[in-house]
Structure 1
Amino acid sequence: MPLPTLRSTLARVVQQEDVNFLLTNRIPRRLATRFIGWFSRIETPVIRDLSIGVWRLFADLDLSDAQETRFRSLHDCFVRKLREGARPADPDPALLVSPCDAIVGASGVVERGQALQVKGFPYPLCDLLGDDAEAALYEGGWYVTLRLTSAMYHRFHAPHDLRVEAVTYISGDTWNVNPIALKRIERLFCKNERAPIHARLVRSGHPIALVPVAAILVAGIRFSFLDAGLDLREAGPRRIPCDATLDKGTEMGWFQHGSTIVLFAPKGFRPHDRVREGATIRAGQPLLHVPETGNA
Structure 2
Amino acid sequence: MSPITALTYVLPHRFLSSLARRLAYSTNPRTKQWLIDTVVRKFDVNLSEALEPDATRYATFNHFFTRALKPGAREPDADPRALLMPADGRISECGRIGFAGEAEHEDPGHVFQAKGHGFSTAELLGDERAAQDFIGGTFATVYLSPRDYHRVHMPWTGTLRETVHVPGRLFSVGVDAVGSVSKLFARNERVVCHFDTDFGPMAMVMVGALLVSGVETVWGGVEIPPYGGPIVVKDYRGQGIVVERFAEMARFNYGSTVIVLFPKGVAELASALGPQAPVKLGERLATLKV
TM-score by length of 2: 0.89
Equivalent in the alignment of 1:258:
255
The range that moved more, 154-163 or 83-92, is 83-92
Letter in 2 for 1:175: F
- State the partner residue of 1:94: 81
Q: Out of 210, 226, 243, which is 2:204 matched to?
A: 210
Match for residue 105 of structure 2?
A: none
Instruction: Tell me the alpha carbon deviations over residues 144-177 of structure 1, each in whole angstroms, 9 at most, x when there is no partner.
Output: 1100001111101111121121111111111001
State the 1:117 CA deviation.
1.0
The offset of 1:138, in angstroms, is: 1.0
Match of 1:175 in 2: 171
In the comparison of the two structures, how many residue pairs are matched?
A: 274
Tell me the equivalent position of 1:56: 40
Give the percent of matched residue pairs that are identical in Structure 1 and Structure 2: 26
Decide whether the 8 Å contact of 2:207 with 2:257 is kept in 1: yes
| In 1, Cα distance between equivalents of 2:115 and 2:34 | 39
Q: Deviations over 1:170-193 (max 9, x none)?
A: 111110011111122111111111
The residue aligned with 2:71 is 84
Pair 118,234 (structure 1): closer, same or farther in 2 beyond 3 Å: closer
Gaps of 5+ in 2: 99-107
Task: State whether residues 221 and 255 of structure 1, in contact with CA within 8 Å, keep that contact through their aligned partners in structure 2.
Answer: yes
Q: Pick from 273, 281, 292: which aligns with 2:279? A: 281
Please list the CA deviations of residues 127-158 of structure 1 after superposition, one character each: whole Å capped at 9, or x if unmatched.
11011121111111111110000111110111
Residue identity opposite 1:94 in structure 2: R
- Conserved? CA contact 1:171–1:192, under 8 Å: yes
Between the aligned partners of 1:247 and 1:92, the Cα distance in structure 2 is 15
- Does the CA-based 8 Å contact 2:214-2:222 persist in structure 1? no
Describe how 1:80-159 pairs up with structure 2 within 5 A: 80-111=67-98, 112-159=108-155
The alpha-carbon distance between structure 1 residues 88 and 236, as it changes in their structure 2 partners (threshold 3 A), is farther
Alignment match, 1:270: 268
Amino acid at match of 2:285: L
**Would the aligned equivalents of 1:93 and 1:160 in 2 still touch at CA under 8 Å?**
no
Shift of 1:234: 6.0
Equivalent residue of 1:67, what SS? Answer: coil
Whole-Å separation in 2 of the counterparts to 1:225 and 1:76: 19
Q: Which moved more, 1:152-161 or 1:17-26?
A: 17-26
CA RMSD, aligned part only? 1.7
Q: Secondary structure at the match of 1:261?
A: strand
| Runs of 4+ more than 4 Å apart | 22-26
Distance 2:213 2:96 in 1: 32
Which residue of 171, 176, 185 maps to 1:189? 185
Contact 2:122 2:131 in 1 (8 A): yes
Query: What is residue 163 of structure 1 aligned with on the other side?
Result: 159
Cα distance change on mapping 1:172 and 1:92 into 2, 3 Å: same
Deviation at 1:24, TM superposition (A): 5.4
Query: Structure 1 residue 57: deviation in Å?
Result: 4.2
* Greater Cα offset, 75-84 or 24-33: 24-33
CA distance in 1, matches of 2:209, 2:227: 14
Q: CA deviation at 1:205?
A: 3.2
Give per-residue Cα distances to partners, 1:39-72, cap 9 Å, x unaligned.
Answer: 1211222222221222234312111111113211
Q: What's the CA shift for 1:106?
A: 1.2
For residues 214-264 of structure 1, the C-alpha deviation after alignment (integer angstroms, 9 at most, x for no partner) is 001111110002255332346331211124111111110100111001111
Is the Cα–Cα contact under 8 Å of residues 89 and 145 in structure 2 kept in the other structure? yes
